[in-house]
Amino acid sequence: MPSPANDKRTTHFGYREVPEDVKAGLVAEVFHSVADKYDLMNDLMSAGAHRLWKRFAVAVSGIRAGDRVLDVAAGTGDLSARLAARVGQAGEAVLADINNSMLEVGRARLADRGITGNVRFVRADAENLPFPEDHFDLVTIAFGLRNVTHQDRALASMFRVLKPGGAVLVLEFSRPVLPGLGRLYDAYSFTVLPLLGRVVAQDEASYRYLAESIRKHPDQETLKRMLEQAGFERVEYFNLSGGIVALHKGYKF
């Protein structure tokens, strides 16, 4: 008979196969390592384009003053800050992240920007969100879904806490759709990103993992089907920067 160790289910951690119960810890180590330089690295890696992607996400979100929003895998709070400004003091933006190092950096970043009063920080697992059913007008996750071990469970959890009539936004790296862009993007990802990681963040391995995790993430149509399987309806997506990034939007009815 096979040993229990051989029966363990595996998943990908970048290009490595690891036991499912190990991945969350490995991802936690990555983001603990890069937390302090995360925002700077995002600016350098995307030449500032990540700010335009997030601005677009907020623009199509449909949220209004007084709404309650949840930002899953909120990290350092860059998207959350924009959401908090949109819902105003009558609303609430909840920043949820499994990584305490990222949450602490996010708390400090938002405080420095004077964003207080309508924000709340919660350490939470995307696969099992600790909030009531039908609670939020909008649920977002930006550049975090690909790091979740069981993405289907995370999408189901986001569906559960969303109010009927509410929307989900998934902003994530995806598959380039412009001819020739894929080859250029691969060359950039596997040469420039690790180099920036080594020079700026003193952590080449974490940024090599992040580049690999993008390649393992589902493409636009696959993620659309996953959202539909989780219960979301009227799912659509917008290709940004030639498909390097895609924004998926769906509704709960």
Please choose, from the candidates 148, 177, 143, the residue with its C-alpha nearest in 3D space to the C-alpha of residue 71.
Answer: 143
Return the HEC string of 160-192: HHEEEEEEEEEEEECCCCCCCHHHHHHHHHHHH
CB under 8 Å, gap of 24 or more: what pairs does 109-115 form?
Answer: 109/39, 109/76, 109/77, 109/78, 109/81, 110/77, 110/80, 110/81, 110/84, 113/81, 115/81, 115/84, 115/85
Name the residue type at position 29: E
Annotated binding site for S-adenosyl-L-methionine: 76, 97, 125-126
Q: Report DSSP state, residue 61.
A: T
User: Do 111 and 104 touch, CB atoms closer than 8 A?
Assistant: no
Q: Which residues are bridge partners to 238 per DSSP?
A: 247
Name residues whose C-beta falls within 8 Å of residue 217's C-beta, 6 or more positions apart in sequence.
Answer: 145, 146, 172, 173, 174, 223
Q: What are phi and psi of 188, to 5 degrees?
A: -65, -45
Annotated binding site: 76, 97, 125-126
Please choose, from the candidates 15, 12, 57, the residue with its C-alpha nearest in 3D space to the C-alpha of residue 148.
Answer: 12
Residue with tokens 């696959």: 222
